[in-house]
Amino acid sequence: MAKILSTSYLRKIVNIKNQYKFIRSFISTATLSGIQLFLVTVLAVYIANSMFAPQYFELLKTHFSFSFGTHTFSMSLQHWINDVLMALFFLVVGLEIKRDMLVGELSSPKKASFPIIAALGGMIIPAILYLSVNQSHPTGFGIPMATDIAFALGILMLLGKRVSLSLKVFLVTLAVVDDLGAIVVVAIFYTSELHYDFLLYSVLTYFILMIFNYFNLVRVMPYLFIGIFLWIFIHSSGIHSTIAGILLAFVIPLKAKNTTVEEIEEHNSKSPLLRVEHALHNFSAFIIMPVFAFANAGVELDFASVIENKTIVLGVFLGLLIGKPIGILASTYLATKFKISEKPANVTWSEILAVGFLAGIGFTMSIFISVLAFDDPHIVSAVKIGIFASSISAAVIGVIFLLIVGKKETQKEFLEGLNDK
């Protein structure tokens, strides 16, 4: 009885409740975003194959320019979307990753190991499958490594109480690690020729941001202002500019020096990181991603290009549809057998296989990497068709699996699972 009434025990219960509410809110946003993405995608594909196709593609090719000193930025509308808006998207992703690493599901080795191993398996095996049939076009290996969290969670939520909240949390955490892996792949393998002068400017700019963080500057605007220059220099250096968003996220502090984690969980306004994340989260989910999907999902359904590039399309298809579930299931099963990690108590192996298929919904993230991987528009169009086909197939198979093996979970059971961690 004394334990139940102790302050520390009650604080722990409050923290678990707050974590439960945040997860619910995050999943709800991702679900609505997934539905919106689906509708926008259908619209983009329809327009790209209608009488309005010339105007659609011409709009995306329209150039917009602005000058910064002696340097002029001139890019097509599609590049502005892919380089600027997606940098903001990756800023939000970076904030989510940092928060999870500090106070979330990735904050301890015990909690983090299982989804990390699942994500690694879900990235490595698809890449190997792709490369096994595409030695002549290796640059596309990153395409089947990606997961579209909004679509995958949207499908899970449409199944309602047939799917446990523990399984949804596992998918969210897996996708966060998967996003981090995708960022590393983009930074290392999809960087064009480097301009070392701008790379040096980028390093110096980031050093200023690190000084802000070291002295625990909690005002957000200085970070965002210097972050603009970081984007400019990284873009000019040849590294893909979306990396600026991730780097900026990692220097924005979670809390002030005299603020406790408990105070942050009760009052999010005390956390600079959470203020930025909450300010941009809905903008990212309901503006950036739909705009990106509209600009990049519009593909002419030219199956002749698919036949012409059949090995590339096959590699992407196999990687997403087969590589993802095999990689996630095999890596986590072996990790538990060798006692490297521990499976969540309320999740079965059949459910993990089903989530593996849903992780094969690459969609927007796979499309993003495909644009970086290939310069030939015919190859990109063919790959997009392959991404659509594999993502739809993975979604259907995943839903069927979950309808067969999914189980309900009460709020009490979920909270007990969090408490056990």
DSSP state of 50: S
Q: Which residue has the tokens 């690493």?
A: 101
Vertex 191: Cα angle to 185 and 193 (nearest 5): 160
pLDDT of residue 262: 61
Residue 368 contacts residue 179 (beta carbons within 8 Å): no
Residue 244's alpha-carbon distances to 80, 94, 139, 222, 276, in angstroms, are 14, 10, 22, 15, 15
Strand-pair partners of 68: 71
DSSP state of 138: G
Cα separation, 21 vs 170, whole angstroms: 16
Cα separation, 78 vs 125, whole angstroms: 31
Q: Around Cβ 415, how many Cβ atoms within 10 Å?
A: 16
Q: Is 56 exposed, middle or buried (0-12, 13-18, 19+ CB in 10 A)?
A: middle
Residue 360 contacts residue 390 (beta carbons within 8 Å): yes
pLDDT of residue 268: 59
Q: Which helix (H) or strand (E) holds 76?
A: strand 71-76
Q: Around Cβ 68, how many Cβ atoms within 10 Å?
A: 11
Structural domains of the chain sorted by starting position, each given as residue range(s) with its CATH number in brackets: 17-66+74-191+240-420 (1.20.1530.10)
pLDDT of residue 223: 97
Cα separation, 233 vs 268, whole angstroms: 32
pLDDT of residue 1: 44
pLDDT of residue 345: 78
3-state secondary structure (DSSP) of residue 72:
strand
Cα distance from N-terminal residue to C-terminal residue, the chain: 22
pTM: 0.79
Per-residue pLDDT tens digits of the chain, which is 421 residues long: 444 445 454 444 445 445 545 555 555 666 677 788 889 989 999 999 999 999 999 999 999 987 766 677 789 999 999 999 999 988 998 898 888 888 776 777 777 899 999 999 999 999 999 999 999 999 999 999 989 877 887 777 777 677 777 787 788 788 878 888 888 898 888 877 788 999 999 999 999 999 999 998 989 999 999 999 999 999 889 888 888 998 999 999 987 666 666 666 555 566 899 899 989 988 988 899 899 999 998 988 888 999 999 999 999 999 999 999 999 999 999 999 998 998 887 889 999 999 999 999 998 889 999 999 999 999 999 999 999 999 999 999 999 998 888 665 544 454 455 455 5
Cα separation, 234 vs 209, whole angstroms: 14
pLDDT of residue 266: 55
Cα separation, 416 vs 355, whole angstroms: 22
Helix ranges restricted to H, 284-323: 289-296, 303-308, 310-318
pLDDT of residue 28: 62
